[in-house]
Amino acid sequence: MHSGGMIKPASATTRTARDARDTGLVDVAIVGGGLAGLGAALTLARARRSVLVIDAGQPRNAPAAHMHGYLTRDGENPLRKLQMGRAEVHGYGGKVIEGTVASVRRLDDARFRLTTIEGASYEARRVLVTTGLVDECPDLPGLRERWGRDVVHCPYCFGWELRDRALALLGTGPVAVMQALMWRQWSSDLILFQHTAPEPSAEQSAQLAARGITVIKGEVAAIEFDDDHVTGVRLASGEVHPREAVVVNPWFEGRHSLLSPLGATLAEHPAGIGRQVKADATGFTGVPGVWVAGNVLDVTAGVMQSAASGVTAAAALNADLTREDSELAVAGLPQPTVIS
């Protein structure tokens, strides 16, 4: 879900940026401490690489009380999960610092300098960016207030918890019909509010009717809620339809502001639902020394996929560093002095 809900420092496992200015050169600096970033950090630390994670403490899924679909950790509180991850990284010598990276710049020696808005700077041989994405949603009263609770987007994250409820699906684009047909799997009481979505084709209308999905035309004005629960959907006409939860389909925009100045490029997701950083299967962006993982790499990745992509990127980063170390050794040049 969208960013919010600061993570409190986990005592020994996290330091502030101001307290950790003099970290020296690290093998890999990771921007973003979600599951992708922490998964990569854990793998790199276990590979005896020096690793620094800089995290703003604003995970996308902070509003959600529970995390689902993560094998052996289904139902875990997402903030607690991150605190546990930080502790594991710390246990292998990795460092996690709370701060917000403002820029990443390549130096003349091909290393990178990361500068934070808090005024700290760090140098790294390689950079992994795991800054996630932004959910660009319709600007409707009630939507953001309930986001991540009973206004949701992912059936695999929330479908089971909303099963058999009275659902509204807010149409905002060409995938609205497919989304409605998908959510029908979790509830037979489903209304597709066309809102700004295109008119369904004859074939789509037949499919919706056959699955018992009602279609209501007209733009939505607000999501109604009371006593900490969604109660309905109000149209611009003033008509209110009682509902218990609302499904939306945001535009997913990978957080790429740090990457574009380095030369990384963007690509639209094949499903036409957002933009992500263009990279290969390991997360390598094509820019020497720069990798990505998590939702900035794949806007559809869930928590388990994001963690896995961090591990994949970490293995590729370690291999890349190993090649450089070996080339330096053959040439009789000193190895980079990194912090232990």
* pLDDT at position 62: 64
Kindly report the pTM of this predicted structure.
0.88
Distance from the Cα of residue 140 to its chain's centroid: 23
* pLDDT at position 276: 97
Alpha-carbon gap, residue 238 to 291, rounded angstroms? 49
* pLDDT at position 339: 76
Alpha-carbon gap, residue 57 to 79, rounded angstroms? 9
Q: What is the dotted CATH code of the domain comprising 138-247?
A: 3.50.50.60
Q: For tokens 């496992």, name the residue.
A: 13
Neighbours of 46 (CB within 10 A): 17
* pLDDT at position 23: 55
Neighbours of 47 (CB within 10 A): 18
Alpha-carbon gap, residue 26 to 337, rounded angstroms? 8
Q: What is the largest CA-CA distance in the chain?
A: 77
Closest listed residue to residue 188, CA positions, set 167, 170, 160, 203: 167
Could you confirm whether domain 11-135+251-330 is CATH 3.50.50.60?
Answer: yes
Residue numbers of the chain with a pLDDT score lower than 50: 1-22
The per-residue pLDDT for range 43-82, each reduced to its tens digit, is: 999 999 999 999 998 776 666 778 888 888 888 888 888 8
Fold equal for 11-135+251-330 and 138-247 = yes
Closest listed residue to residue 195, CA positions, set 156, 129, 253, 137: 137
Is residue 52 a contact partner of residue 134, using CB atoms and an 8 Å limit? no
The per-residue pLDDT for range 74-116, each reduced to its tens digit, is: 888 888 888 999 999 999 999 999 999 999 999 998 899 999 9
Return phi, psi of residue 63, to 5°.
-65, -20
SS (HEC) of the chain? CCCCCCCCCCHHHCEEHHHHCCCCEEEEEEECCCHHHHHHHHHHHHCCCCEEEEECCCCCCCCCCCECCCCCCCCECHHHHHHHHHHHHHHCCCEEEECCEEEEEECCCCCEEEEECCCCEEEEEEEEECCCEEEECCCCCCHHHHECCCEECCHHHHCCCCCCCCEEEECCCCCHHHHHHHHCCCCCCEEEECCCCCCCCHHHHHHHHHCCCEEECCCEEEEEEECCEEEEEEECCCCEEECCEEECCCEEEECCCCCHHHCCCEEECCCCCEEEECCCCCCECCCCCEEECHHHCCCCCCHHHHHHHHHHHHHHHHHHHHHHHHHHHHCCCCCCCCCC
N- to C-terminal Cα distance for the chain? 35
* Domain locations in the chain as residue ranges: 11-135+251-330, 138-247
The tokens of 304 are what? Answer: 């388990």
